[in-house]
Structure 1
Amino acid sequence: MVARGRLSERAAEFFAVDDQWVRPGGIGPQDLVVGAATFAFGVVSVELLRSVGTFEGVRGTWWVHWLVIATASALLVVRRRWPLTVLALAGAHMFLTGVLIPTLMGQVPLQMAYFFAIFSGVAWARSRRQMLAVVGVVMAFMALWLAWQFSLGRSLETLADELGLVDDRPGLLGPATAAVLLTALINVLYFGGAVLGGQVAWRSARQTTRLAAQAATIARQTAALQERAVLEERLRIARELHDVVAHHVSVIGVQAAAGRRMLGRDEQSVATALAQVEESSRDAVDEMRRLVGTLRAPAGDAPSAGAPRAPEPSWSEIGALAEPSLGDRLRVGYDLVESPPGAAGTLPAALGTSLYRIVQEAVTNVRRHSTATRAQIVLRVDRVATPPYAEVEVTDDGRPRNGTSGSGLGLLGVRERAAARRAVVDIGPRSVGGFRVRVRFPLADGSPAAAPAPAPAEAGAE
Structure 2
Amino acid sequence: MTTPDPWSQWRRPGPTAAQRRQDVWLALAVLAGAAAVTVLVRSMGAFVHDETISTLVEQLLWGAGISLPLAVRRRYPLTVLLVVSAVFIAGQARHVADNLVPSIALFTAIYTAGAWSRDRVRARVARIGVVVGMFGWLGFSLVRELLEPVGPFENAVGPLDPVLASVLYGVAFNVLFFLSAYHFGNTAWLSARRKEELEHRAEELRRSQEQNMRGAVVAERVRIARDLHDVVAHHVSVMGVQAGAARRVLDRDLDLARSTLQTVEDTARTAIGELRGLLGVLRADPAEEPGPEEAAPADEVLGAQTSSPGLDQLPELAAMARSAGLEVVHGVYGEPRPVPEGVALSVYRIVQEALTNVVKHAGAAGADVRVRFLEQSLEVEVTDDGRGVTSGSGGFGLVGMRERVAVHGGALEAGPRRGGGYRVLARFPA
TM bucket (normalised to shorter chain) is 0.7 to 0.9
Q: Is the 8 A contact 2:370 2:380 kept in 1?
A: yes
Measure, in 2, the Cα distance between the counterparts of 1:58 and 1:167: 24
Residue 24 of structure 1 pairs with residue 13 of structure 2: yes
Distance 1:65 1:437, change over 3 A: farther
* Equivalent residue letter for 1:246: A
Q: Counterpart of 2:187?
A: 200
The answer to whether the aligner puts 1:216 opposite 2:203 as a matched pair is yes
Q: Cα offset for 1:22? A: 0.8
- Indicate the residue corresponding to 1:423 in structure 2: 410
Give unpaired runs (5+ residues) of structure 2: 300-304
Measured in 2, the distance between the counterparts of 1:417 and 1:325 equals 22
What is the correspondence of 1:254-403 to structure 2 with a 5 Å cutoff? 254-296=241-283, 300-302=287-289, 305=294, 310-323=306-319, 328-338=324-334, 341-343=335-337, 345=338, 347-382=339-374, 384-385=375-376, 389-400=377-388
Normalised TM-score (structure 1):
0.80
Larger RCO: 1 or 2 (CA < 8 Å, sep 6+)? 1
Superposed CA RMSD in Å reads 3.0
TM-score by length of 2: 0.86
Instruction: Name the aligned partner's letter for residue 308 of structure 2.
Output: E
Deviations 1:362-393 (A, max 9, x none): 111111110222222233344x43xxx33333
What is the SS of the residue equivalent to 2:74? coil
User: Is contact 1:258-1:327 (8 Å) kept?
Assistant: no
Q: In the alignment, is the contact (CA less than 8 A) between 1:369 and 1:400 conserved in 2?
A: no
Please show how residues 52-451 of structure 1 align to structure 2 within 5 Å: 52-55=44-47, 57-104=51-98, 106-107=99-100, 109-152=101-144, 170-296=157-283, 300-302=287-289, 305=294, 310-323=306-319, 328-338=324-334, 341-343=335-337, 345=338, 347-382=339-374, 384-385=375-376, 389-400=377-388, 405-443=392-430
Q: Report the equivalent of 1:33.
A: 25
Q: Deviations over 1:219-278 (max 9, x none)?
A: 222222222222222221111111111111111122223323433443332222111110
Aligned-partner SS, 2:415: strand
Residue 10 of structure 1: aligned partner: none
State which drifts further: 93-102 or 189-198: 93-102
Q: Distance in 2 between matches of 1:44 and 1:166?
A: 31
1:79 Cα shift?
1.0
**Runs of 5+ unmatched residues, structure 1:** 1-12, 444-462
8 Å CA contact 1:153–1:177 kept in 2: the answer is no
Instruction: Provide the aligned length of Structure 1 versus Structure 2.
Output: 413
Asked whether the 8 Å contact 1:154–1:177 carries over to 2, the reply is no
* AA aligned opposite 2:386: G
Change (3 A) 1:426 1:18: closer
- The answer to whether the 8 A contact 1:119-1:194 is kept is yes
Checking the alignment, whether the CA contact within 8 Å between 2:237 and 2:356 is kept in structure 1 is yes
Contact residue 314 and residue 349 of structure 1 kept, 8 A: yes
Distance 1:255 1:185, change over 3 A: same
Q: Which amino acid aligns with 2:380?
A: V
Q: Is the 8 A contact 2:321 2:327 kept in 1?
A: no
C-alpha change, 1:392 and 1:89, in structure 2 (3 Å) is farther
Kept in 2, the 8 Å contact 1:19–1:128? The answer is no
